[in-house]
Chain A
Amino acid sequence: MDILRQTGYLLKKEILLEWRSKYAFNGVLLYIVSTVFVCYISFNLSPGFNTSNSYPVVWNVLFWIIILFAAVNAIAKSFLQESRSRLLYYYTIASPQAVILSKTIYNALLMTLLSVLALIVYVLFFNNTVGDAWFYFLSVLVGSVTFATTFTMVSAIAAKAGNGGTLMAILSFPVIIPVILLLVKVSKSAMDGVDRSFTYGNFGILATINIMVIGVSLLLFPYLWRD
């Protein structure tokens, strides 16, 4: 399996690069912490909100919005930061499938780590109302992986089109909205402590979306990189 070996090397290179600079990781982490802190302060402006009925709803939705923007910021870099000549070099030594696969896996790892840290920071500041903590944690993990797979392909398209940031948001938001609706629903039922068997179906849909997106990326990326 040549592709898998190449993917392994490219993945190792991505992690090594990130480990040396820690730019994407630290930047996004700082972004998350400051957003959470801003939300914390503004929530405290209206006393009594912590105990109101709408608090869990806001808690959940706010968390996903923070993760969404963190994901856009973290993953937009994955193709935009690569210079043209470096990309050309990858394509001479590895197959395009290995490139997109390694980027997807790397982004999935990065997003998982970031969202777990975000969850910890979030729970530190806001008092926790989650009923089924393990299931909520699972939905966060699945959600961050789904964000990573979708945004990686979109960031490849946006990077090719030339003007990165704006296009990334325009192209990815309509694609990610159904995913985020599902995630909010799943995590809300985990919060309310709904019986787990009710949400297995939604996890199935999320897994299908992931497999579909990875399959489509593997099929389409070879056409995308050719210039």
Chain B
Amino acid sequence: MMKFIYQSWWKIAAVLLIFYTIIAGLLLPVPVLPILHETIRNVYFHVPMWMAMFVVFGISVVYSIKYLSSGKEQDDLVAIECVNTGVVFYILGLLSGMLWARFTWGEFWSNDPKQNSAAIAFLLYCAYLVLRNSIDEEQKRARISAIYNIFAFPVMVVLLFILPRMTDSLHPGNGGNPAFGKYDMDNTMRAVFYPACIGWIFIAIWIATLRYRIRLIENKKLSL
């Protein structure tokens, strides 16, 4: 698994995929739908941010569990750097969503259940970072924050993916609104959307691994 992060084929693939989706996403035709119109192209940029965030947060939880069973410092470093990267993608996802909402719903923030629960889940991960900073002792910090990370992940899933689906949200895919289901996305859109998701997920993992490797080098320097 750790060999994977030093290989370069998937990084090249990620860059190529992103370039492809930026060009194709802006140029290829999209289905003409009421209200959405051309803003439907945001699906190529907004949704992959959340996918990438979800994947790095998931990796972080896996490594938190690993840390609790092994006690190795590297596992904790993977967990924290994955959360750091995930938070950046979280902010990008929120911002791209807000920009889209400005042009389709009329307001940057329109009190939509999906937006509200996204904000709450953001607080959850901010709390994780605050918790980390509040403890000085390294092993204790690693253990307690691993526990909170495992505790927070299911709450985040409930907030982002379950609760908004139960209420009347204007967000596509919730409350019976159209989304990238079988009715609204044609094959040209799928040909851009899926590569975009894969590309951004790889980019997120790449950033996280780079940060992890920087931390490893810093640790080595400190221990000399």
Contact = CB atoms under 8 A, between A and B. Distances in A.
A178 B134 contact: no
A157 B148 contact: yes
Interface string A177-206: 110010000000000000000000000000
- Which secondary structure characterizes the binding site on chain B? helix
B150 interface: yes
A144 B155 CA distance: 19
Given A174-B124, A178-B158, A223-B68, A161 B144 contact: yes
B83 to A, nearest CB: 14
A174 B144 contact: no
- Chain B interface size, under 10 / 10 to 19 / 20 to 34 / 35 or more: 20 to 34
Interface stretch (B24-32, B40-48, B115-123, B191-199): B115-123
A163 B134 contact: yes
Nearest to A182: B163
A64 to B, nearest CB: 16
A163 B134 CA distance: 8
A170 B127 contact: yes
B208 interface: no
Contact of B120 (A157, A161, A162, A177): A177
Contacts of B117: 178
Given A175-B124, A223-B68, A167 B131 contact: yes
B120 A153 contact: no
A161 B135 contact: yes
B143 A224 contact: yes
Interface residues of A, number: 23
A162 B135 CA distance: 7
A199 to B, nearest CB: 13
Given A161-B135, A162-B135, A220-B147, A178 B120 contact: yes
B65 to A, nearest CB: 10
Contact of A153 (B121, B124, B151): B151
A220 B130 contact: no
Nearest to B154: A212
A220 B163 contact: no
Interface in A210-227: 212, 216, 220, 223-224, 226-227
A138 interface: no
A157 B150 CA distance: 12
Interface of B: 68, 117, 120-121, 123-124, 127, 130-131, 134-135, 140, 143-144, 146-148, 150-152, 154-155, 158-159, 163
26 contacts: A153-B151, A154-B151, A157-B131, A157-B144, A160-B144, A161-B134, A167-B130, A174-B120, A174-B155, A175-B124, A175-B151, A177-B120, A178-B117, A178-B120, A178-B155, A178-B163, A212-B154, A216-B151, A216-B154, A220-B68, A220-B150, A223-B143, A223-B146, A223-B147, A224-B143, A224-B147
3 residue pairs, one from A and one from B, having the closest CB atoms: A174-B124, A174-B123, A170-B127
